Chains A and B, each alone.
Chain A
Amino acid sequence: MRPRPEISACSIVIVGDFNPKIFTPDWLANQSIITAQEREACEIELIHSEVSKFKCDWFVLEVTKNRFFIETLEAPFVRILDLVGSIFGEFLIHTPINMFGINRNMHFSMDRSQMIKIGKALAPSAPWGEWGEEIDADENNGMRLITMEQNVLDDRNKGYIRTTVQPSSRLEGILISVNDHYELVNKETTPESIQYLTNNFENSISKSEWITDQILGIA
């Protein structure tokens, strides 16, 4: 059985032009994007012309003038896609959208020896010469953070997948972050952009888990 994360977050980031003040729990409830019960459970942190940020039962929403961010730690992750689809595919259909990202943050619990094995495989110390030898002398030394990028991808004109591996700060183990980034270069309409996001969402989730499997396979 494939290893499961102890903590798993999924987020959608959209870069474009937004009016943060619009994004309130009341507005979402009034448009039936969230239910009245969910609206009651929302905790507003900040609603302002420059930034809106609030937490609802199962998601966090944060909007600045050029960035929309929604995150959940609770499966099914497709719920944030539905929410984004309703907001921009149904209501704010003239919002300029330039790029979007489907992101995962997964914390895996593992013992120190497994972490060292992954660190040494992803960032061998030999190419660092004599300093690498010093690093090898104590297991407290070693890889801190590494990012790998794929920017030639068949499913998009422009974009990349970036995966970062580092020690987790939440538990004894590692954090694997996958940023699946798409740039919109064909001047799509907002509903077309959202459809593009929708078409790629499930595949992106699967791919992030597949990438993670490769890394965890080292240990």
Chain B
Amino acid sequence: MPQTSESTKFEFNTKEDLSLQVNAIHSLVHDKFNLKFDNAGFTSLNLFNRDELVNLTNEPPIVDEYPNRFQDSVHAVLQHINIERKKVPSLIPLQEWEGYVTDIYEDKFLTSLIDITAKEDVATEEAEFDIEELSDSDKNLLKVGAVFRWIIGYERTPSGVKKRVSQVVFRRLPQWSQSSIRNADRKSKEIIKTIKWT
């Protein structure tokens, strides 16, 4: 579906760019885009112009972030591959809470909740959940104090079918590094020094 408007040709900057890396991408996309890539070799990437890619991928390419055209080309091809993966369900939140686990017993866990949708920043609600509601991977993360998000929303399948869902997902917050702890300690000491006691 070529367009008649002026478009930017993707070009490689150096001979080194035309190396194994591109070949690897080609081998991946070869059978998916045989029209353009079948037996085409490296230069076939040049055959794609930006408008064509926009048409094929149905998303605007975010090209300004890439300092050279080789990366631009790579990303364009990767966007191309994205066509298939976009055929996955989308989960749209209607209501979202952040919570933490306050107690666990047999088959349930108790929680305190902060209403994110209402832009609250303190816990104002409590709720009890069945452990069975958790996915297998999230069950391993269940412990007192664990932070999670609770979403009520709807899931839309690629074919457009919608269903209401409630989902609890535990957060995997990064651990504090030793250097972060040292920095926080140093900053707190600096703040304490600036306090003038009267």
Contact = CB atoms under 8 A, between A and B. Distances in A.
Interface of A: 4-9, 13, 15, 32-38, 45-46, 48-51, 53, 55, 60, 62, 64-67, 73-76, 78-79, 82-83, 85-86, 89-90, 93, 99, 101, 103, 105, 145, 164, 166, 169-171, 175, 177, 179, 181, 191, 194, 202, 206
Given A8-B92, A46-B25, A191 B160 contact: no
Interface stretch (B34-42, B62-70, B100-108): B62-70
A85 B179 CA distance: 15
Contacts, number: 138
B193 interface: no
Interface string B52-76: 0000001110100111000100110
Contacts of B92: 4-8, 75
B91 A75 contact: yes
Given A35-B137, A65-B71, A51 B25 contact: yes
B156 interface: yes
A83 B172 contact: yes
B74 A53 contact: no
A5 to B, nearest CB: 6
A73 B24 contact: no
Nearest to B97: A76
Interface of B is mostly: mixed
B88 A73 contact: yes
Interface in B2-27: 20-22, 24-25
Given A60-B85, A85-B173, 5 more contacts: A8-B92, A62-B78, A66-B66, A67-B66, A164-B60
B18 to A, nearest CB: 12
Number of contact residues on B: which range applies?
35 or more
B124 interface: no
Nearest to A38: B137
Contacts of B25: 46, 50-51
Interface of A is mostly: mixed
A5 B149 CA distance: 20
A93 B176 CA distance: 12
B5 to A, nearest CB: 10
Interface in B130-182: 135-137, 140-141, 149, 151, 153-154, 156, 160, 169, 171-175, 177, 179-180
